[in-house]
Structure formats: C-alpha cells, structure tokens
Amino acid sequence: MSRARPIPALLALAMTVLLGLATALASTPANAGSPPLRIAAANWTVAETLIALGVVPYAVSDIPNYNAWVKAPPIPDSTLDIGLRNEPNLELLAQNPPDLLLTSALFSRDNARLERLMPVRMIDNFYTDAPFYEATLAMTRKIAQLTDREPQAEALIAETDQVLEETARALQGFKAPLYIVQFSDAQHVRVFGHGNTVGTLFSRTDLTNAWTGPTNAWGYASIPIDRLAERPDARIVVIEPYPRGVGEALKDNRIWQHLPAVREGRVSFIEPIWPYGGLISLQRLARSLVAVSDRIPPADPATEEGAP
C-alpha cells in the first residue's frame, strides 16, 4: 500500500503549475535581475557548497546530523530542516515548495515523488567518471551557475588550490604510513583510500596511505579495528565524531588499546570533517592533517625495521 497521503485540490493545482516550470527552473541559472531562487539541499555536500558560495539554503536535510558530522560551514538559522537525507519530509516540502531541490544520485529513489512538488536537479561529486577532486570542482561550478555565483566559485577554487599547495609543502618528507579512519562502532572503522577528500590529500602530498586494500564507491573500506595492526609502524588519525557510546567503549576495548599506534601514542584525533564533502571540507581536512602531523611521534625504529 502506498504511504503517500492525498494532497488538497489547491495544492494539486499548484503542483501542476510547478511541473510546467520545472524544466526551465532546473536548467536556467539565476540572474541578477530576479529574486534569488529558494534552493533546498538534500545532499550535505551541496549544502556545504551553497553556503561557501554565499547562498543561504532555503532548506537542508537532517541539520542536527550535519552539525555533528559536517560541522562547517554552519547552517544559517533561517534554513528549514526537511528531514532525513534519504527520506525528505514530503508534507513539509508540499506546504511551501522551494524553487529548486538539489539532490544526489544516492537519494534518487524519491525523485519521482519529489518532482510532483518542485523542480529537482541531481548534482554531486560522486557517481561520475571524473576523479573526486575534478568532480568536486565541476559540482562547485554547476552550483555557482545555478545560483549566479560564478566569481565566488572561482575564488573558492583558487583558495582551495592554494591550501593544497601549502599543505604539500608543510607535509613534504612526511613518509610514515598513515591510517585515516572514522569509527562506525566500537569494533569497526571506515578506513579511507581513494575517491574522497582523504584520497585527494594522499595524492597531493607526501603522505603515505597505510591502507592499500580495496574500497567501495565512497572510497573507504569497513574493517575490524584489529586490522589496523597489519602495519605496526603506521600512525592513525581518527576523524570525529564517535557514534553514540563508542568513546566510552574504547576505554575498555582491549583490541584497540593493544594496537601498536595506540600503545605508543601515535594516534591523533581531529574534529568532525565530512570526508565526502566539498572544497571547504577538503580545506579543513588539509589544515587539520598539517596541525596533527607535528604531534604524532615517530614509531620505534625496531618496529619500523620489522614492518612489512
């Protein structure tokens, strides 16, 4: 049985008008002579990029978790919360539909229902044929075109390139293997490889990724924490936050406590940064890795000599 609820007649009429305008609105950039589009973002990376370009989103999905896992740039107080990223609140959207909803391929299963209410455009930096950084640049420029923010986008791109160059210089010669992880529960981590902000930094600096195994479409592998002992000479950087209860559980987790990097103090923690995010997330991760690189002591030489 369908879960969709009946829509009042007046709203149905409004929807018909919106559908007639959908193609034009979704494909035409804003211009300086017209009011700014009220844009909703179901994708956190799109939300981050809109704000970085100076656009106040009309609505964003799951703002509390954005604040916990993405953190910056902050969501403006005037922005509405439209529910879960994979299940937007259709009733709320129907009350006062945005001029345009930006979503991603990951959440496209609801597009047919969403398109009855408003124009929908899929934009993201995944599920493309381009490498992650190039796809992120293309996403940024597309959002800028839709919102009449092309100069701001080019300034953001130039700033990001400068941050990457400064990061490469700061990390020059830092050859020690490094795991960059995020906890999924007290027994497992996501360990990052290529195809995200982490992979971009590994490819642009002297940092060496300790993880050489396969990764998924999002550029990470979900592994038990004992596999972090496979490279006993490796440092570990943990991207916060912890899922609920994980921080306390790790205090009594013997596997975690006995990892060589944990025993020898070669673990650093950085504040929440979205590993799948846009250019602001990439800049923040770059600066965070530079900051912690000076605080991670080297591994014991004997350990390094015996490492594979």
Using CB atoms within 10 Å of the CB of residue 4, give its burial: 0 to 12 exposed, 13 to 18 middle, 19+ buried.
Answer: exposed
pTM for the model? 0.84
Assess contact for 231 and 208: CB atoms under 8 A: no
- Residue 246's pLDDT is 94
pLDDT in tens, 211-261: 999 999 899 999 999 999 999 999 999 999 999 999 999 999 999 999 999
- Residue 204's pLDDT is 94
The helix-helix angle for 279-293 and 44-52 (nearest 10°) equals 90
pLDDT along the chain (308 residues), means of 10: 41 39 43 74 95 97 95 96 83 87 73 76 87 96 96 98 97 92 96 95 95 94 97 96 92 94 95 96 97 71 40
* DSSP type of residue 39: E
Rounded distance, CA 297 to CA 300, Å? Answer: 9
DSSP H helices, the chain, are 9-27, 44-52, 63-69, 90-95, 111-114, 132-147, 150-170, 197-204, 246-251, 254-257, 260-263, 279-293, 301-306
Rounded distance, CA 42 to CA 220, Å? Answer: 22
Neighbours of 31 (CB within 10 A): 7
Assess contact for 280 and 48: CB atoms under 8 A: yes
- Residue 298's pLDDT is 60
> What's the one-letter identity of residue 93?
L
Neighbours of 307 (CB within 10 A): 15
